[in-house]
Amino acid sequence: MQPVKTPVRGTEKKKSLPVRNSAVRFFSKWKLQIVCTISGLFLFLLASRFLPAETDIKSGNRLVRNSYGRQAETYEITVEGLEEKPVKVEIPVSARKYADEDIGRAFDACMDYLSVQILGDNPSLAEISGNLNLISSVPKYGMRADWTSPDSSLIDSSGTVKNTELTEPKDIVLKVRLSDGSGKHAADYELPVTIIPQSLSEQERRYRDFLSFLKQADTTQVTGETFTLPEEYDGKKLNYSQKSKENYNILWILGIACAVLFYFRDRFRERDAADYRNRQLLLDYSEIVSKLMVFIGAGMTIRLAWENIVNDYETGKNGTRFAYEEMARSLAQLKTGVNEGKVYRDFGRNCGLKQYMKLSGILEQNRKTGIADIRNILREETSLAWEERKTIARRMGEEASTKLIAPLMIMLLIVMVMIIVPAMMSFA
């Protein structure tokens, strides 16, 4: 008979600890989100319970009209009792209009309002020296104002005051027609204003007087072919000049622009020439390494193989090849007694590409230590060089196809214009 195992006190509590820890971790991670969610729900319940619902219906069956001069308003209202079920009805409500007994007081109040609003920067209607603000609508009263000026040479219907030549105050009466927008009520009013001369400084006054003097002189000489400017004014001798109508500043600007463009043109040409040279060097590298491998494999020394490659180039020369020209210069240095290692090293540096520097390092190392398997090294270098040449040729083909895109797009555009223009002309 197996013994009965009694549960150890506290085992059940230990099993529930992982669940409790998971809840604590969850609350710690999302506590802000949980608090915000609960707060929002609590505020929603409070507002729904204690705050009154905002609707357009006042006191159970009243809809507010828009103020005077406004547009009509359409309310969407649910009506109960019209049918078995509640129905939604769109109810148009016109804007408020003036009663016949109220329109006169409204016009008077509007005029009191306008007499202040049209002043602008002027102190009062009795001292008008700046432009008036002749507003055409008064939303406060739902009115429209149409202004008329009796003398447009002093003030026009838009409120522009013309007092530059005014020497003394001038009284005029502005006329305004007020209407409530319905076409039923309208009234004419008169608004007396006094336009005073413009407040000018001494310099501005002298300038205005001189222009008046010139205007008078022009009137007396109007029959002549030319207008002779006065030599004196107010006891002072006058000299006249005018800014040249021709502006030659563009010339020195063009000179600087051309200098900058020529500078960049030379830089671009140098860059293109360097790119062309490097590309040609890369294309000839595989051929040079292959020839060296063949000649050295035939039992020639590096110097003799070098000389044969240069002789072959000069014999069948058809254009300049930068790599072979560098080899020819190196051969000339060898013939003058320059150290062979230095010649190979300078050859790699003059070519300026890592492939040629690697080749010069191989040749110099072979001259110093006599590498036994130089042929195998050159064979591996030849294989790498031919793979790189294939990559270059592929890239050149992609560049050529890219350059063809622009002409093709231009041709496509021309064809589209040739098709679309006659079609549009036929419709016209």
Q: What is the average pLDDT value for the chain, to the nearest integer?
A: 80
Closest CA to 155 of 169, 168, 172, 176: 172
Please report which helix (H) or strand (E) contains residue 312, including its range.
helix 302-315
The residue type of 415 is: V
Q: Are 357 and 346 in contact (CB under 8 A)?
A: no
The class that CATH gives domain 100-199 is: mainly beta
- Quote the strand ranges of 256-396, DSSP E: none
**Tens-place pLDDT, residues 24-79:** 777 777 777 878 888 888 888 877 777 666 666 665 667 777 677 676 777 777 77
The number of residues making up the chain comes to 428
Band of residue 156 on the pLDDT scale cut at 50, 70, 90: confident
Residue 43 corresponds to which tokens in the numbers above?
Answer: 């505020």
Rounded to an integer, what distance in angstroms lies between the CA atom of residue 88 and that of residue 66? 22
Closest CA to 278 of 340, 356, 341: 356
- Enumerate residues 6+ apart whose C-beta is below 8 A from 329: 350
Band of residue 275 on the pLDDT scale cut at 50, 70, 90: confident
Give the residue with greater pLDDT, 89 vs 54. 89
Give the residue with greater pLDDT, 368 vs 212. 212
Across 1-5, 22-26, 296-300, 399-403, least confident range:
1-5
Bridge-based pairing state of the strands 137-138 and 143-148: antiparallel
CB atoms within 10 A of CB 248: 8
Band of residue 12 on the pLDDT scale cut at 50, 70, 90: very low
**N- to C-terminal Cα separation, the chain:** 111
Give the residue with greater pLDDT, 175 vs 165. 175
Please report which helix (H) or strand (E) contains residue 87, including its range.
strand 87-93
> At what angle are helices 249-297 and 354-369 packed, to 10 degrees?
40
Residue boundaries of the structural domains of the chain: 41-96, 100-199, 203-232, 271-400
Band of residue 372 on the pLDDT scale cut at 50, 70, 90: low
Q: Tell me what the mean pLDDT of segment 400-416 comes to.
A: 84
Q: Tell me what the mean pLDDT of segment 324-339 comes to.
A: 89
